[in-house]
Amino acid sequence: MLEWSKPERWANPSAKHHSGKLAAKAIEQARIDVAQLIDASSEEEIVFCSGATEALNLGLQGLVRLLHASETSTLVAGFPDEHPAVGQCLVALKKQAYLQTNIEIQPQISDSNPIKLPENDPRLLVLCRMYAQNETGKIYDLLEVRRKNLRNGDWLFSDLSQAVGKIPVSVQQLDIQMGGFSGHKFGGPAGTGVLYLSRKKTRLNLQPITFGGGQEHEFRPGSLNLPGIVGLGVAAKIAKRELNIWQSTVLKIRETFETRIHELVPEVKIISENEQRLPNTSMIILPPEAADKMKQKLPGLCVTQGSACASASGKSSHVLAALGITKQGISNAYRFSFGRTNTQSEVLECLNMAFG
């Protein structure tokens, strides 16, 4: 990234001069590395964006506009624990009355009453189901989602933000038609992201939501973020190469954390404890006294209450609410996320200081 930020090296990758061509080559290498990380069938399926929020909005809004323009009768549905980048996008689309002529949007379908259209229903179903939950770490079985909810030809739209770089992701095996994720979740720079578009389905002819130059097939116009995209590509390469070691390292740290916190705070509840979960995530609900003690003893501890995005808007966790957790439980819920630079002894020291 530093190299491509130097004034003598930086060039607009769209420029046809020598420096521009070198920059374009670096972008195309990053596109290949990102495609390989998620097992896309071609690097042409990768659209570079500024983050998952933009990618997911671009995909969903572009798709809905295309389906509206082509008068395809469609049902677009999402689950209540989707990140606002999907959930709020669906809510906003639902308010756009002009779409309602042929598109029905259900932003909050329930897990207990999953949607499946009858075989002879002419509507296309676009189902939004994230791969891994950002607050609880729960991993959804997307193959099962397809088997249970989707007919041949229906679409699976998946927010891959928490999964990429943390668990193996093969968009082909999972049969995902569209997905989005951010670079900073797996070691890349913040402000970079990817929209994945399966070419088998979309042929990149979605409708743009911003208009400008011809970049990214005119679908995401604007000068490309050269150093950022190079960083994203390198992070993708490293994430692919080191996935196993990353997983086993953070899992051991999490196991140490969870074993010890059960000893120190027997009333602790770990969300999705016995479910398929991301190896680095532990969302815990503490009894109020233990939560107060932790805050007093460790004012500098970097844990979050719900997602960073929810904290930014001051809203309490819609994810925990959807799991039926009480308001008091939600106010004492903390998400611990572990990284490769954390150590077992650091985690034990932290717990002993907070609760010992």
Provide the 3-class DSSP secondary structure of residue 37: helix
Rg (CA), the chain: 21
Residues 180-209 that bind ligand PLP (CB under 6 A): 182, 193
Stretch that binds ligand PLP, among 16-24, 50-58, 232-240, 264-272 (CB under 6 A): 50-58
Does the protein bind ligand PLP through residue 83 (CB under 6 A)?
yes
Residues 287-346 that bind ligand PLP (CB under 6 A): 307-309
Out of 130, 176, 226, 320, point to the residue binding ligand PLP (CB under 6 A).
Answer: 130
Out of 33, 81, 154, 159, point to the residue binding ligand PLP (CB under 6 A).
Answer: 159
Size of the site for ligand PLP (CB under 6 A): 15
Out of 30, 38, 53, 176, point to the residue binding ligand PLP (CB under 6 A).
Answer: 53
Out of 23, 34, 85, 164, point to the residue binding ligand PLP (CB under 6 A).
Answer: 85
In what side-by-side order are the strands of the sheet with 281-285? 269-270, 281-285, 333-337
Would you tell me how many other CB atoms lie within 10 Å of the CB of residue 256? 19
Half-sphere exposure of 312 (CA within 13 A, CB side): 4
CB–CB of 50/209 below 8 Å? no
Stretch that binds ligand PLP, among 2-10, 98-106, 155-163, 320-328 (CB under 6 A): 155-163
The torsion defined by the Cα of 234, 240, 242 and 246, in degrees rounded to 10, comes to 110
Minimum CB–partner distance for residue 198 and ligand PLP (Å): 19
Tokens in use for 152? 């041949």
For the question of residue 89 being annotated catalytic, the response is no
Phi/psi for 285 (5° steps) reads -115, 120
In sign, the C-alpha dihedral spanning 71, 72, 73, 79 is: negative
Interaction pattern, residues 18-37, with ligand PLP; x per rule: CB under 6 A: --------------------
Task: State the catalytic residues.
Answer: 309
